[in-house]
């Protein structure tokens, strides 16, 4: 399906839907046409502006059915991760803001409480939905509310341990509807010919009428009605178990419906209505097609899970993610102890080549970061040298495992921390904001901060030589030629400590400098721009680019040897949280050196906030660490 031209007349039904009430008023016969218009709208806008496409195309009918059966915001709708909530946003009055999707100060790419009353719970990480939904449902029970809570989670999220912890705590008598959207992998063994036939029967009005009438009749029989009903129910469950296997959800005491075609709006609506009328905790199992309605996304849903804006032009070369994967694969050719682990992000972390080259040494553990880290610890304790490739924002979930299972035992696990630093398009839930701070306080771990491909290669070489844990953090995207030329030229990076370069002073004579800025990562580009601005005011600022942060005592010794002996200002700049970060740790480590006695020290970092962009401005400016802010700090 090709996206339609931007013309309101072509959106005959969509332009009339500005609230869930508008959707309820639409005749059922018009729903298929509305679904087609929604897909056209999504394809056009997401391909143009970027965002999550395939996942949203697959849940059009499901989203429509939810809002036709339930009443948001009185009823609570909670999406897992939230990258499939675009239709929900459109239905709840935010369609006109879609041009600002994932833009600074614009519409969030995920549900966000401050954005709409219809977003009852903010999300962005996987497998949190059911725990939150259970909290809503129990709260409504305590307060005597008749509100329903609808939890929408995918089969990928279902691999996360939190989902099963929550399932273990679900009570039968709650107004909780759990929708499991299966679009890629099987989540149960009972999907065969008999199960399909049964699910078809269970999704018809006749089945529900007969079932409800039988239940009512049996329960009204004096004395024996209750026991008879319970006996027949146990018999039914037993027969199902013999015929096509036990049902995990019903064994937990939850009412199970499905599986059915999740792209059949009418069938989904009937199941939701049945679940609603049951007034008990229900599991609805749907099967949908990821990318439905847009042929390229149907053929390669992984490629269209998240798409870049049409204006994006990829730089030459490989991204940091892909470069890491290639380097680890090359190292594994020579070292049979090297293995790789990812948490459902094979392509995102650059491990596709490793997976195909060493399938016996590659592990995708699903959305289970805690397990990934402790699993790596077990591998390392038994002689392997595992690489754990996880986004910075997701590694937060395994903090205790890093401490207790890896660092405490000083095991040689290599953490390749992708998407480090601020990531504007995905917002606060996806910033790599905290890893420097939470890793800096853990003994035994070394932290490398490469910002070029050569520096990444050196860091990995050092990591594979180490007998203890090593963290290598790098940003999303590609190396910047300007950074390479300014700090490296044709030289190979040293791999530890700092680059002995002072921008805008060819003699590299530190005593000629008026100030020194110490930084790491891609924000060094802002520091370089600030140095240009300061040069126009006859102020000479030197820049030290760190390639390694920890051990801080070791790095401090190298930095101290490079600082001017004269009185001047020292500024630590980082795009991470200030508390416990590089600035605090390194300035503390430097404080005992004689060279620091006549220095004024400032730390520029994200200061006690989640870096939420409320205005249409660059992310560095929004948190006060951009080039202009650097100049003001230096001259203050």
**To the nearest whole number, what is the mean pLDDT of the chain?**
87
The token duo for 595 is: 């060279």
Average pLDDT over residues 610-617: 80
* Res. 359: pLDDT tops 60: yes
* Res. 68: pLDDT tops 50: yes
Smallest Cα–Cα separation from 571: which of 535, 625, 505? 625
Of 613 and 283, more confident:
283
Average pLDDT over residues 256-267: 91
Q: What is the pLDDT of residue 553?
A: 95
Q: What is the pLDDT of residue 497?
A: 54
Q: What is the pLDDT of residue 2?
A: 42
Phi/psi at 359 (nearest 5 deg)?
-60, -25
Name beta bridge partners: 421: 432
Of 485 and 25, more confident:
25
Average pLDDT over residues 358-374: 95
First-to-last C-alpha distance (Å) of the chain: 58
Q: What is the pLDDT of residue 306?
A: 81
51-52 vs 306-307, strand pairing mode: antiparallel
Which segment of 67-71, 117-121, 129-133, 301-305 scores lowest on mean pLDDT? 301-305
* Burial annotation 55-69 (CB, 10 A radius, 16+ → b, else e): bbbbbbbbbbbbbbb
Task: Give residue 361's region: left, alpha or beta (phi > 0; psi -120 to 50).
Answer: alpha
pLDDT in tens, 109-124: 899 999 999 999 999 8
Of 2 and 511, more confident:
511
How far is the C-alpha of 320 from the C-alpha of 324, rounded, in Å?
Answer: 6
How far is the C-alpha of 343 from the C-alpha of 368, rounded, in Å?
Answer: 6
* Res. 29: pLDDT tops 50: yes
How far is the C-alpha of 596 from the C-alpha of 413, rounded, in Å?
Answer: 35
Q: How confident is the model at residue 106 (pLDDT cuts 50, 70, 90)?
A: confident
CATH architecture group of domain 320-473: 3-Layer(aba) Sandwich (3.40)
Q: What is the pLDDT of residue 387?
A: 98
Q: Assign 3-class secondary structure to 292-307.
A: CCCHHHHHCCCCCCEE
- What CATH code is assigned to 499-635? 3.40.50.920
How far is the C-alpha of 235 from the C-alpha of 238, rounded, in Å?
Answer: 5
Our CA dihedral for 452, 455, 460, 463, rounded to 10 degrees, sits at -130
Q: How confident is the model at residue 199 (pLDDT cuts 50, 70, 90)?
A: very low
Do the beta carbons of residue 409 and residue 369 sit within 8 Å?
no
- Please state the CATH superfamily assignment of the domain spanning residues 8-187+279-307 in this structure: Thiamin diphosphate (ThDP)-binding fold, Pyr/PP domains (3.40.50.970)
How far is the C-alpha of 358 from the C-alpha of 336, rounded, in Å?
Answer: 10
* Res. 503: pLDDT tops 60: no
Q: Where are the beta strands (DSSP E) in 503-566?
A: 515-519, 541-546, 548-550
* Res. 294: pLDDT tops 80: yes
How far is the C-alpha of 151 from the C-alpha of 128, rounded, in Å?
Answer: 10
* Res. 212: pLDDT tops 90: no
The token duo for 149 is: 């809570």
Average pLDDT over residues 455-467: 95
Q: How confident is the model at residue 5 (pLDDT cuts 50, 70, 90)?
A: very low
Residues labelled as active-site residues: 290, 369, 397
Average pLDDT over residues 152-178: 91
What are the domain boundaries of the chain?
Answer: 8-187+279-307, 320-473, 499-635
Average pLDDT over residues 385-414: 97
Average pLDDT over residues 594-613: 91
pLDDT in tens, 169-197: 999 999 999 999 988 643 333 333 333 43
pLDDT in tens, 407-437: 999 999 999 999 999 987 788 888 899 999 9
Residue given tokens 């690489």 in the structure block: 387
* Res. 203: pLDDT tops 80: no
Q: How confident is the model at residue 211 (pLDDT cuts 50, 70, 90)?
A: low
């Amino acid at each position: 399906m090709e996206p339609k031209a931007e013309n309101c007349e072509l959106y005959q039904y969509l332009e009339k839907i500005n609230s869930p009430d508008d959707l309820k008023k639409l005749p059922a016969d018009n729903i298929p046409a509305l679904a087609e218009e929604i897909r056209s709208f999504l394809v056009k806008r997401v391909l143009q502006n970027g965002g999550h496409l395939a996942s949203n195309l697959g849940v059009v009918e499901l989203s429509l059915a939810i809002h036709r059966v339930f009443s948001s915001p009185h009823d609570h709708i909670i999406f897992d991760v939230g990258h499939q909530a675009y239709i929900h946003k459109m239905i709840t009055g935010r369609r006109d803001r879609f041009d600002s999707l994932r833009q600074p100060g614009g519409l969030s790419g995920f549900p966000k409480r401050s954005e709409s009353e219809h977003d009852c719970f903010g999300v962005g990480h996987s497998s949190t939905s059911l725990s939150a939904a259970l909290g809503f449902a129990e709260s409504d029970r305590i307060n005597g509310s008749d509100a329903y809570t609808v939890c929408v989670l995918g089969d990928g999220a279902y691999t996360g341990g939190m989902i099963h912890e929550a399932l273990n705590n679900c009570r039968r008598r709650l107004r909780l509807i759990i929708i499991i959207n299966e679009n890629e992998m099987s989540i149960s063994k009972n999907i065969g010919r008999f199960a399909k036939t049964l699910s078809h029967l269970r999704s018809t009005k006749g089945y529900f009428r007969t079932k409800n009438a039988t239940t009512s009749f049996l329960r009204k029989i004096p004395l024996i009605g209750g026991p008879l009903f319970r006996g027949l129910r146990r018999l039914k469950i037993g027969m199902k178990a013999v015929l096509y296997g036990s049902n995990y959800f019903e064994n937990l005491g939850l009412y199970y419906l499905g599986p059915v075609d999740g792209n059949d709006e009418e069938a989904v609506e009937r199941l939701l209505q049945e679940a609603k009328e049951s007034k008990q905790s229900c599991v609805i199992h749907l099967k949908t097609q990821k990318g439905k309605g847009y042929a390229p996304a149907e053929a390669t849903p992984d490629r269209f899970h998240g798409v870049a804006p049409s204006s994006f032009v990829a730089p030459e070369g490989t991204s940091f993610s892909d470069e890491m994967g290639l380097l680890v694969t090359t190292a594994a050719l020579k070292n049979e102890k090297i293995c790789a682990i990812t948490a459902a992000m094979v392509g995102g972390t650059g491990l596709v080549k490793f997976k195909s080259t060493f399938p016996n040494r590659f592990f995708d553990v699903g959305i289970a970061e805690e397990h990934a880290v402790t699993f790596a610890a077990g591998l390392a304790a038994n002689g392997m040298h595992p690489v754990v490739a996880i986004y910075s924002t997701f590694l937060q979930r395994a903090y205790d495992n890093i401490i207790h299972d890896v660092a405490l035992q000083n095991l040689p696990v290599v953490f390749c921390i992708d998407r480090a630093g601020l990531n504007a398009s995905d917002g606060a839930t996806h910033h790599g904001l905290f890893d420097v701070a939470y890793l800096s306080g853990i003994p035994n771990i070394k932290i490398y901060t490469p910002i070029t491909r050569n520096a990444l290669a050196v860091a990995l070489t050092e990591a594979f030589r180490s007998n203890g844990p090593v963290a290598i953090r790098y940003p999303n995207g590609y190396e910047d030629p300007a950074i390479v030329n300014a700090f490296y030229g044709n030289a190979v990076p040293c791999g530890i400590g700092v680059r002995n370069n002072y921008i805008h002073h060819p003699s590299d004579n530190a005593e000629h400098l008026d100030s020194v800025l110490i930084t790491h990562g891609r924000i060094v580009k802002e520091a370089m721009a600030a140095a240009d601005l300061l040069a126009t005011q006859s102020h000479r600022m030197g820049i030290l680019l760190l390639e390694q942060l920890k051990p801080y005592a070791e790095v401090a010794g190298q930095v101290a040897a490079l600082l001017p002996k004269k009185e001047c200002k020292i500024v630590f700049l980082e795009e991470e949280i200030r508390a416990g970060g590089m600035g605090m740790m390194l300035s503390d480590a430097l404080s005992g050196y004689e060279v620091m006695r006549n220095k004024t020290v400032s730390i520029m970092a994200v200061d006690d906030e989640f870096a939420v962009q409320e205005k249409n401005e660059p992310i560095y400016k929004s948190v006060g660490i951009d080039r202009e802010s650097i100049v003001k700090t230096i001259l203050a």
